[in-house]
Amino acid sequence: MFIRSIILIIIATSVVNLLLFGTIREFTRDDLDPVARERVRREWNKEMQNHQVFMKHVETVRAQWVLESQEHEKERSVMIIERRTWQAEMKEQEEKLSRLSHTIDQDRRDWETEKWKRERDWERKRREEAAERKRREDEERRRAGMHWEDLIPSQRCLSHGTREYTAKLVGIPWGYNYLSTCRETEAEIHGRSIRPQSCEERGSDGVWAKWIIDFQEPTCTTWWSNLIDKGCTAPGSRTRRYEQHLENIPWGDDWKVMCTSAPTDFLGHHFDSPTSCANWGRQGIFGYWDVRDSSC
């Protein structure tokens, strides 16, 4: 609206200037002719009246533009106030959400802490009750005279440094679960109190247990001797073979089991077992190790 008003004013000014210029030119040309001067005067008066009407219209347009500008400024002020109010409300809402989120996080942490405390207390109580129950059961076993009888080591080794033991549990109180009691009753072997690996109920022969002991068994401990470099396994194989003789194999033991479970150390490396084993009769048991060697 403002731009339109400016354009109208410019056009009006231009028209007036053209009319004035034309009148002046006419007047200059016929300034001595009274009839011409009268005609020019009438035309001038008519143009001035038209100009006054036009200028009134321009003033009306300008007044309307001023009014519209004032209304626009009022609306703009209202919008600014509303925007600031909206921003303030949004900020307040964000602060509320932040406080709520903090409260929720704190409540969750408090709940998790309380849950952890309850679980800890429950676990401690469970352990205490289990310890007390075991103490009472041990005391009842002692009063009842329950004990292991005939703890016997096997005549053969299970593997390198490992032997099996068996024993019979006697004096089990009436009403006890035989197998459960067996599994929870320790036996002393080589100075250590150890629970059995397995239990078996043999009817009238009672309950028997089995232990697999892999410490302090010197008669089951074999060792390797006489390390020999047998050379490359084949040209381009990048593998070298070594041989050793297995010592201290108890008579009657499974030579394959004893050989494949015997560890060794050489060339700065530890080997849990050989790559392969061989029984050469009277010459003995031999192990072979295939070791990576870039020179082969």
pLDDT score recorded for residue 29: 46
Q: Average pLDDT in the 24-52 region?
A: 72
Domain count, the chain: 3
- Other CB atoms within 10 Å distance of the CB of residue 152: 11
16 with 34, same domain: the answer is yes
49-77: per-residue pLDDT in tens? Answer: 888 888 888 888 888 888 888 888 888 88
Q: Token digits for 11?
A: 């056009």
70 with 119, same domain: the answer is yes
User: β-pairing, 192-194 with 198-201?
Assistant: unpaired
Q: Which domain holds residue 169?
A: 146-218
247 within 8 A of 225, measured Cβ to Cβ: yes
Distance of alpha carbon 200 from alpha carbon 183, whole angstroms: 10
65-109: per-residue pLDDT in tens? Answer: 888 888 888 888 889 998 898 988 888 888 888 888 888 888 888
17 with 82, same domain: the answer is yes
231 with 260, same domain: the answer is yes
- Other CB atoms within 10 Å distance of the CB of residue 148: 21
170-211: per-residue pLDDT in tens? Answer: 988 787 888 988 998 899 999 999 999 999 999 888 999 999
SS (H, E, C) 37-50: HHHHHHHHHHHHHH
137 with 14, same domain: the answer is yes
121-166: per-residue pLDDT in tens? Answer: 899 999 998 888 877 777 666 656 788 988 999 999 999 999 999 9
Identify the domain boundary among 144, 170, 189. Answer: 144
Predicted TM-score (pTM) of the model is: 0.49
Burial status of residue 163 (CB atoms within 10 A of its CB: 0-12, 13-18, 19 or more): buried
| Phi (first) and psi of residue 191, to 5 degrees | 85, 5
- Across-strand partners of 213? 163
51 with 183, same domain: the answer is no
45 with 118, same domain: the answer is yes
18 with 82, same domain: the answer is yes
Mean pLDDT of the chain: 85
| Phi (first) and psi of residue 8, to 5 degrees | -60, -40
Place of tokens 């329950």: 146
1 with 140, same domain: the answer is yes
241 within 8 A of 278, measured Cβ to Cβ: no
